[in-house]
A and B are shown apart, each in its own frame.
Chain A
Amino acid sequence: MGVSELEESSSLLDEKLLRFMDQLELLEEKRATLNSLIEQGWFSISKARYTMGNKQVSALQYASEIEPHVCVHARTQDNGEVEFCTKKVEQNCSNEADKDVKSIEDIGPQEEGVRRRNKPKKDIAEKEASEETSGEKAPEVSPVRKSDKNPQQDPLKWFGILVPQSLKQAQSSFKQVIELSAEIATLQTAVLNTREELKHGMKNKQILQEEVSAARLDKEADRTCQ
């Protein structure tokens, strides 16, 4: 009975060890990719700096309002592992801005009748009409301001409107790095989790081994007594 349990725990330990090794191998692979991508990113930043000037690509260029474009979702699984996955932040402000733009575009065709560019005489009716049109126009202005205030702009624009291609390349490689870093964080927690499982498994196996050896000794002692 004890021997079969011992064999079972040993095979379980083997499985866990193999899983652990696989995870470590995968981690190393992803690390290598991450390192090369970061290097590529730095190289592109340096190129951009060479093109734009030394002080044009620095921490001084960061915007005063910074909003995240990417976030991570951490999901804790039943076995204690944490899975990280990156997600683009839905830009509420930009959606609002889009709506506003649409509303501005819609205003043109909605106006009925012919416009009077030369106002002949000041009639009360006309005054009212002009008030109405100004009333319509008032909300037109405010949304435009809203979109101007929108802080969730592309970080590339911190460094100018016409940025070199190399800065765009840097951005794309760092975006990849961010995605990869979430995967690596997941793998790291998995590795640590498997390590803990292995430790527990080893302790259990040790206890079982001691039990089996104690039982054997008892049996041998019984035989010698008989």
Chain B
Amino acid sequence: MAGRGKLIAVIGDEDTCTGFLLGGIGELNKNRKPNFLVVEKDTSITEIEETFKSFLARNDIGIILINQFIAEMIRHAIDAHMQSIPAVLEIPSKEHPYDASKDSILRRAKGMFSAEDFR
């Protein structure tokens, strides 16, 4: 595993997941646990959050890609993640274009110029 490198995980709508799996990032491990989650209309927020946390806990995942509208549902979990590995990347989705002002990383970077940081 050490020589192989880390995986890229995806949490997204069907087309996003299909696209990234076409790109070759998908994996079903020995326990048949996938490194992706296709979020559909009936997927609960709890399920998304649990999957996200399980991806964070896995040490074979290097980057987590997540649709921004899904990231909005579990914003607290994303904001709580402070480590650099795995890196969390918010990507746009078909119905929701990318909004930099919602991105956790950019908000953290922007926060540098707030009054709190000068204290």
Q: Is B63 interfacial (CB-CB < 8 Å)?
A: yes
Q: Is B78 interfacial (CB-CB < 8 Å)?
A: no
Q: How far is the CA of A125 from the CA of B84 in the complex (A)?
A: 71
Q: How many interface residues does A have (CB within 8 Å)?
A: 58
Interface string of A39-82 (1 = CB under 8 A from B): 10110011000000000011100101111111111101000111
Least CB distance, B90 to chain A, in whole angstroms: 10
Choose one: A34, A66, A73, A188; the contact of B28 (CB below 8 Å): A66
Q: Which of A38, A82, A173 has the most CB of B within 10 A?
A: A38
Q: Which of A74, A170, A173 has the most CB of B within 10 A?
A: A74
Inter-subunit contact A59/B18 (CB<8 Å): yes
Inter-subunit contact A68/B84 (CB<8 Å): no
Q: Is A219 interfacial (CB-CB < 8 Å)?
A: no
Inter-subunit contact B5/A73 (CB<8 Å): yes
Q: Is A19 interfacial (CB-CB < 8 Å)?
A: no
Given contacts A155-B26, A181-B89, A191-B105, contact A89 B19 (CB under 8 A): no
Q: Is B6 interfacial (CB-CB < 8 Å)?
A: yes
Q: A62 to chain B: which residues have CB within 8 Å?
A: 21, 26
- B residues near A (Cβ < 8 Å) are 4-8, 14-28, 34-35, 38, 62-63, 65, 84-85, 87, 89, 91-92, 94, 97-98, 100, 105-106, 108-109, 112, 117-118
A66-B21, A84-B63 given; name 16 further pairs at CB < 8 Å. A34-B91, A35-B97, A46-B15, A58-B18, A65-B28, A69-B25, A70-B24, A73-B6, A80-B84, A84-B87, A87-B5, A174-B23, A175-B24, A189-B87, A191-B105, A199-B117
